[in-house]
Structures are given as C-alpha cells and as structure tokens.
Structure 1
Amino acid sequence: GLQAIEKEKALQKLYASEQLTTLGQLAAGIAHELNNAVGVLSSKTESLQQALCQQLEVQRPQAIAFIEQGIESGQQSGSADVRVRSKALMAQYPSLSREQAKLLARAVPNGDITPDWLNDLDMALQYWDIGRDLHDMKIAAKHAASIVRSVKQLGGSDQDRQTDVDVNDTIHKSLALLQSNLRRVNVVTHSATLPTITASTTELVQVWVNIIKNACDALENTEEPTIEIITRHSKNRLLITISNNGPMIDEATRRKIFQPNFTTKKGGLSFGLGLGLSIVQRIVDSYGGTVALKSDTERTKFRIKLPIA
C-alpha cells in the first residue's frame, strides 16, 4: 500500500524531470534559432532609427524633438490615466479632437503642453508616435533576447542579477510589452516607493508578463475587465498583488496551475509550451520568495512576496 504510493510518487517525479530535460534540450534548439531572429530585429530597429533621424535632420528638423521624446521615454501612462488626462486636455483645449487628446495624453502624461506641440500638433503627434513604436520595438527585442537566454537555462536562474533593481520599473516594462493584450483592459496600479533589490530585470519582467497575460486571457468574456496591481513593502519583504475581476478559478485548477505543462487553454498556451505559471513559480522560488493564488467569484489574486535582502 504505502510502498506503492511512494513508488508512484517517485515515478511521477522522474517523469516530470525527464519531461523537463527533454524540454530543456528542445528549448536550447529553439532558443538558438530565435536568437538569430531577435538579433536581426534588434540591429535593424537601431538602423531604422538612425536612418530616420538623419533624414529628418535634413528634411524636417522641427520633428526631431518629438521623435526623440518618443524614442527616449515611450508611453509611461496606463489606459486609465490616459483617459483621465485626455478628458482634462479636451476641456483645456476645446479645439482638440478625441483622437488628438488621447495621443497627446500618452505623449505628455503630466504638466503643461508647451507651444511647440501646439504649433503643428498632428505632425508632433505623428513623430512622437513613431518614436514610441521604435522605443517599444527595442524593449520587446531586448525582452525577447532575455527570454531566449532564460529558455536556454531552463534549469538554473542566477543569470545577470543586478543590485539596484526597482520592482515597480519591471512592472512598467511588462505593461509596455503587453500593450496590445491590454487594449480593452482597465489597468489600475498603486505603486509604493520600494527599496531596490538584487534581481534580474528579465526574470521579474517574465514573472509579471506571465501573470498579467494569464489575467488578460481569463478576462476575455468579462464586462469592464480590470487588472489591479499593488506594490508595497513591509519589514524585509516586497509584496506585489496582481488581481483581476475575471471568472473564479476552481480549487482543482488552483492546485495544478503552477505545474510545468498545465494549461486550461485548448491547444496549450499561446506560447505552446504551457510553461507560463511554472516559470513564475521557479523564478520566485529562486529568490527565496513565495507566490500564492486566491480566487473567488469576485476576483482572482496572485500575491508574490520577495525578500529585500
């Protein structure tokens, strides 16, 4: 009886580790192919940016400041902030169209709108928008390259940890990468000022991307879909809570959700590997942190604790 159960458990463990070994070998091959593709994307984005800026210097010098602002800062506001800001701008400048106000709210998230924007607003917004796209392409290429690196070492994960990582910053990076997934979702963030920690930005971005993307998928049929992200710290820990108002996750699913090849999506995750939340678990574990999931009819909440020291 008891021996048989132990034997079954040992076999399951072996099967899981064999699966991960095979997956690791498979991943290394895929990573090599992807690495080349990502390298091309990255270098061509840089070339495109240089060529565009050189051409503008000759043909449209007045556009340079706007494209550079887009490249430098990208879009820093979430969808809820943009809505509030664009309403305020329409009240302040009645001649703005809704579309202009929305873009302007993204480009200048706070403070006064300087006259150089208003001289030729459509031109300014057009070039800021191109700059923002180049900014996002570079972040995405960097992120993809880092994910490829992480996939290469599916087992260990002490790579590239820096001493002064701001967790809020890694969350903003994740939201920038998931812009297209978040178009119809209201994202609310409550960020406390956090002490920095020793961490790999890539690993943390992976954690947030996986959890938030999961929430986006769950919110597909929810009216007024909302994701709320709260960060704070108490004693020697950072607490990050990511919750959504999607359907409840039942207990059986909750128990299995962090397993490597578990997915509730037909045909596997959109990534195809079904590794999303198991990677979250692995990365958080490697920091000596914890990840917990609670779900009821009103909201589903992931709560991550990371040690500061």
Structure 2
Amino acid sequence: MRDISVQDLLAIEVFKDVPENQLQWMIDRSQHYELPEGELMTRPGEPLSGTHVIFSGRIELYRVQNNTKHIISQLGPGTVTGLLPFSRGKIGIAYGVCLEASQLMTFPKELLKELIISHYELTQALVVVMTSRVREFTELEQQNEKMMALGKLSAGLAHELNNPAAAIVRSSASLKEHLLMQPDSFKSLLSIHLSHEEIDLLNDKMVSLLNNTNRPVLSMMKRSEKEDEILDWLDINHIAGCEDIADNLVEFGIGEADLEELKTKINHTDLSPVLTWINNSLTTERMVADIQEASKRIAELVGSVKTFTHMDRGGEREYVDIHVGIRNTLIMLNYKLKKGNIKVTEYFDFSLPPVKAMVGELNQVWTNLIDNAIDALEGRPDAELTLITRRDKEFVKVTVCDNGTGVPADIRSRIFDPFFTTKSVGKGTGLGLDVVNRIVRQHHGTVTLHSEPGRTEFVVCFPFNG
C-alpha cells in the first residue's frame, strides 16, 4: 500500500481548489487501508463510518430486490463516497463489493463537525459531491421506480391481454369450421323456390335482427325457459338442428310469435332450410362480434398502456383530465383488483377543469397509491377501494381510500421516508411513497395521510395550473 500525499488529493477533480493545509489535515486524520477482491466495503443497514476516498481498484454498489441483484454503479479511482457533511443518511443502503483489490482512505464521521467549523473550502468541496450524488441518485431512483411501477402492472396486463387474444383465436377457429359447413346449407337453400316477396321479407328480417342493439338481457332461468319454448316449436315443425337454432334465436330476441309469423309467410316445406340459413347467418354474426369485441379490448388495453406511460409525448406539463389517468391506472391494475375481489367505488367530480401536469409522473402517483391500497386489502372479505375527486378552491383533491387495517400510529410519521417499508423482504423497496411525495411536490402540491382501523386515506392536493 502506497502513502497518500496532498498531490494525490489535488489530482482528484473535487479537491483541486482546496488549500493544501486542509487536505493534509484530512489525510493525517483518516484511516488508510486496502480491501482485497470480493471484500465488502459496506452493507445495507450498517452505520456509515465516514467519508471514503478511493485511490485504486473498483467497487460495485448494488441492491437486492425480489432476490435479484440490481447494480447501482461502479466506483473507481478518484471517487468520493460514504458519509458527507450535512448528509441525512446515517446507514448504508446498498452493498459495496470490491471487484479488485482497492486502496481507500476513510475520514471518520466523528470529525465531520470539526471539519465543517474549521475548514470551509474542504467542506464546500464535499458538499458539492453530496449535492451531485443526491441529484444523480434521485434521477436513478425515479427511473427505477418507473420501471418497478410498470413491473407491477406487467403480470396483470399480460393476463388481461391473454383473455381477448385467446377469444380471438377460439372464435376464428370456430368461424373457420362454421364456414366449411356453409356449402351444404347453401345447397338446401337453393333447392327451394322463394318468390321476390318472400326473399324481401327474409332479407328485411335478417337486416332487422343484425341491426338490433337492444336485445333483451335474460337471466339464466328466463333464457332456459325461452330456449325450451323455441325447441318445442322447432320440434313440432320438424326443423333440423334444433338446439343450435334455439340458442341463436333466443340470443337475438326471436320468440315463438316471430316464428309463427314467419311460418305464415312462406311454404311449410321451405321453413327448415330458411331457418337453417337464418341460424348460420346469426352464428357468423356472433362469432364476428366476439372477434370484434376481443380486438376492441386489446386496442383499449394498448391505448391505456400508451396513455399511462405517456410514451408518445415529451416530459412537458400539459392540461389533462385528471380522471383519464386514474381510470387507465385502474385498467392496468384490473387483474389485481379482480384477484383480490375488491369492490371499486368512484365519486368523481367530472366538472373539474383540466389540470396542468406531467402526465407520466402523475400516473406513477396513482399506481403507487392504488397498488398500496390493494396490498392493504389482501385477504379482506369485504375489500373496498374508494376513489374521490373534488375541487377545493384553486386546487384539485384526489383521495385514495381503503377499508384495510390502517397504518399504525407509531410509523405514520415515517411512511414517506425513503426506503421505509412495512412489506416483507422482496415485496417493496420503500421508495413508492417517497416517489409519490416527490412528484406531488414537483406539482406544488401535498400528500397527506389519514388513517384509523378500517379506513386509510391518502389525499393528494395540487393546483389546477401546475
């Protein structure tokens, strides 16, 4: 291990303007040592021992989340790290492992007060390091939290997309099979001789059925009764394929009276192929409608993701409807809501004017608050999530409320602190509410917590004009 001189410190950018006597004072009072490859310089939860200056080697900082290693950065020669003047951090938040043998100098934390009082230029240099570190760390954590927010949604989103995708595959396969059977029914239809009046009648009837959007919504029992009535009529009139026909006719609101009317308009011998043709047309319509509905659902989900992440816009503030982001967040978290059997109640004031906000960041706020509420409701039989929007003079207030067990009184004052979490290891970083608080402050607003057993409210308040 080589001796460290004032010139070694002056070669480091941060110390280049510090008087030599102050640097020598720091060297004389520091601990000088080497760490072998694989040795840990710091661990999460351990008290910080002082200010570290690295002269040789490389040290990797990383955290472990969900049993996965997340690298924060690599520290090389000339890096100043550890406890710095006026820093609020007192304990380590990450692992620091030597990737190769490293030489360090550690200025003890017990002398920081004397440093601040007696050595202005040296203190100033270390404060610059601290502010740069805070800025870089904040940017990194905000990006990590964005990725974690998307990660929370990905499993549910995959499930939500899988359902309509499976419906499209299923319906398209059924439609293909159905179309292969069409030639036989077409032959039967061609074998009958319909007058122009009968053709117009059938055509008008089919157009009316397909355009009717006010079909009756029947209970299972009522539907079963209707199908039995149709089946009896079809059986009496010797119509082939009764069961399939009955299901379709009931679905499109056709009753026994409609069939009797049709029977009076065409020859009895033509009734079976005509009803078979009607049934085939209705079956095709239902399958196409299923595919259309599933495709629409996928398009809505993709649209929600695009709006939620704001991927096609810049980071500028713009005027938006606050409810769009909240609704999109609910869509993205729908799988977790259904899985937890959580009732969602909305009390929205749709007369609120648009708010000037950074939409992507604001969606992070709704995601973290709603996701925390869902976690708080886990295992509760009467789980309910309540969302409220209202105006308070020139401010908008958004309340996210759950009827979970509540936040214990002894931790309420710490709940917005970075890295504070009540979740089990691997389930939370303790950054969610810190990010919420930071984003809301960027919008010149506040986040407040009101909690008691059976009711927890987070109230977000910020001005309409941003």
> Under a length normalisation based on structure 1, what TM-score does the superposition of the two structures give?
0.60
Q: Structure 1 stretches (4+) deviating beyond 6 angstroms?
A: 14-17, 26-32, 113-119
Match of 1:173, SS state, is helix
Q: How do residues 55-70 of structure 1 correspond to structure 2 at under 5 angstroms?
A: none
* Residue of structure 1 aligned with 2:430, choices 264, 274, 285: 274
1 or 2, which has the higher strand percentage? Answer: 2
Kindly name which structure, 1 or 2, has the bigger radius of gyration based on alpha carbons.
2
Tell me how far 1:174 sits from its aligned partner.
0.8
Q: Give the direction of change, closer, same or farther, for the CA distance of 1:22–1:280 in structure 2 (3 Å limit).
A: closer
Counterparts of 1:1-309 in structure 2, within 5 Å, are 10-12=86-88, 18=133, 21-22=136-137, 24-25=139-140, 89-91=217-219, 94-95=222-223, 120-121=285-286, 123-140=288-305, 143-144=308-309, 159-162=315-318, 164-183=319-338, 184-192=341-349, 193-269=351-427, 273-309=429-465
Calculate the aligned-residue CA RMSD, in Å: 4.3
CA distance in 2, matches of 1:298, 1:269: 23
State the distance in 2 between where 1:205 and 1:93 align: 44
CA contact (8 A) 1:165 1:200 kept: no
Secondary structure of the residue aligned to 1:12 is coil
Match of 2:364, SS state, is helix
Q: Name the aligned partner's letter for residue 368 of structure 2.
A: N
Unmatched segments (≥5 aa) in structure 2:
1-82, 94-129, 155-160, 177-215, 225-250, 254-280
The structure with more helix, counted as a fraction of residues: 1
Taking the aligned partners of 1:117 and 1:201, their CA distance within structure 2 comes to 44
Does the Cα contact within 8 Å between 2:142 and 2:435 map onto a contact in 1? no
Aligned residues: percent identity? 26
Unaligned runs of 5+ in 1: 1-6, 39-44, 61-87, 97-112, 150-157
Change (3 A) 1:240 1:160: same
Aligned-partner SS, 1:211: helix
Superposed displacement of residue 219, structure 1: 0.5
Structure 1 position 119, deviation (Å): 7.7
Counterpart of 1:249, as a letter, is: V
| Cα pair 1:248 1:299 within 8 Å, conserved | yes
Shift of 1:262: 1.6
Native 8 Å contact 2:385 2:403 kept in 1: yes
Structure 1 residues 214-239: Cα deviation after superposition (integer angstroms, max 9, x where no partner) = 00011102111100001111311111
Q: 1:160 to 1:118 in 2, by over 3 A?
A: farther
Check the 8 A contact 1:187/1:228 in 2, yes or no: yes
| TM-score, normalization by structure 2 | 0.42
1:118 to partner: Cα distance: 9.5
* Matched positions, count: 228
Q: 1:140 to 1:119 in 2, by over 3 A?
A: same
Query: 1:139 is aligned with what amino acid?
Result: S
Asked whether the equivalents of residues 401 and 455 of structure 2 are also in contact (C-alpha less than 8 Å), the reply is: yes
Pick closer, same or farther for the CA change 1:131–1:300 going to 2, 3 Å. Answer: same
Distance 1:114 1:294, change over 3 A: farther
CA distances 1:100-144 after superposition (whole Å, capped 9, x unpaired): xxxxxxxxxxxxx99899984455234412431343134335645
Question: Quick one: which amino acid aligns to residue 292 of structure 1?
Answer: T
1:277 alignment partner AA:
L
In structure 2, distance between residues paired with 1:182 and 1:285: 28
